[in-house]
Amino acid sequence: MEQVSSGECYSRFSVDNAMTDRTSDPRSKQIIHEILPVGMLQCNCSIIGDPETREALVVDPGDEAGRILELLAKHALTVKAIVSTHAHIDHVGGLRKMQLATGAPVLMHGDDIDLYRHLDMQSAWIGVRPPDPANVDKLLREGDTLRWGAFEANVLHTPGHTPGSISLYLAPQRESEPREDAGKLLAGDTLFAGSIGRTDLWGGSLEQILRSIHQKLLILPDETVVYPGHGASTTIGEERANNPFLELPRLSSP
């Protein structure tokens, strides 16, 4: 395994994956899902919209709020909530600007609030100015359900990368086309294509992240599409079969 640099959010194996902007067809009646890599660390910000009601979630607006707002305007979407999968600066840097621009509530897990309160320290790690903090309107927890339009996402508490890391699972839609009939998992920095989130930063735990992955994520159907916080998408089946970072000694009991 290669050594990670201070600015990376995941452990690298072999070559790094890259993801470009994914553009949904405005004419389609399928779920709108735009993925926009933002900021110096290229955090994958997701916009997930209902094509009928035009309601949307914005997940991990790490930076470049203007570009995110342009995509929302392109689809004429109204933001129902802004969700952070965890409170690292590259995932929350645009929260305040998005909150002011849309009026939507900001949601994150309560176990990451202390981390969020130290944006000044986090910004010093990577040599940038700290962003203005947003007001966190609701603290998420395991089992919460987020609803917008005809869609919903289940909140999975997946600590390890940070204490309050979450993943969002969108189960398959009953009326989906066969090729679209796969669930979606927004995994934050917990699970990557061929890797896992780094655990050497404040609040990180290798044992916790592996337990989260094995007990919360790998139980999902193989065809579930995984959208990590950085890099390319993958599937649960692909990671279960080939992710070398999951081939570690048996974990101790909780």
Helices (H), 20-159: 65-74, 89-92, 95-102, 113-116, 119-126
Q: How far apart are CA 164 and CA 139, in angstroms?
A: 10
- Residue where the block lists tokens 């470049």: 64
Confidence class of residue 241 from pLDDT cuts 50, 70 and 90? Answer: very high
CB 62 within 8 A of CB 45: yes
Question: Between 1 and 156, where is the model more confident?
Answer: 156
Q: Which of 6-10, 145-149, 210-214 is the least confident region?
A: 6-10
Buried b (16+ CB within 10 A) or exposed e, 223-253: ebbbbbbbbbbbbbebbbeebebbeeeeeee
How large is the average pLDDT for residues 146-174?
A: 95
Write the pLDDT tens digit of every residue in 85-108.
999 999 999 999 999 999 999 999
Instruction: Please give the domain boundaries of the chain with CATH numbers for all domains.
Output: 32-246 (3.60.15.10)
Q: How far apart are CA 147 and CA 159, in angstroms?
A: 23
In this predicted structure, the answer to whether residue 21 has a pLDDT above a threshold of 50 is no
Token pair belonging to 50 = 């209902």
Q: How much is the pLDDT for 5?
A: 33
Q: Which pTM value belongs to this model?
A: 0.87
HSE-CB of 225 using CA atoms within 13 angstroms: 12
In this predicted structure, the answer to whether residue 126 has a pLDDT above a threshold of 90 is no
How large is the average pLDDT for residues 168-195?
A: 84
Q: How far apart are CA 143 and CA 146, in angstroms?
A: 10
- Other CB atoms closer than 10 Å to residue 132's CB: what's the count? 12
- The DSSP element (H or E) to which 198 belongs, if any, is none
In this predicted structure, the answer to whether residue 47 has a pLDDT above a threshold of 90 is yes
Q: How much is the pLDDT for 181?
A: 63
Q: How much is the pLDDT for 250?
A: 58
Q: How far apart are CA 41 and CA 233, in angstroms?
A: 17
In this predicted structure, the answer to whether residue 234 has a pLDDT above a threshold of 70 is yes
- Other CB atoms closer than 10 Å to residue 123's CB: what's the count? 15
Q: How much is the pLDDT for 125?
A: 85
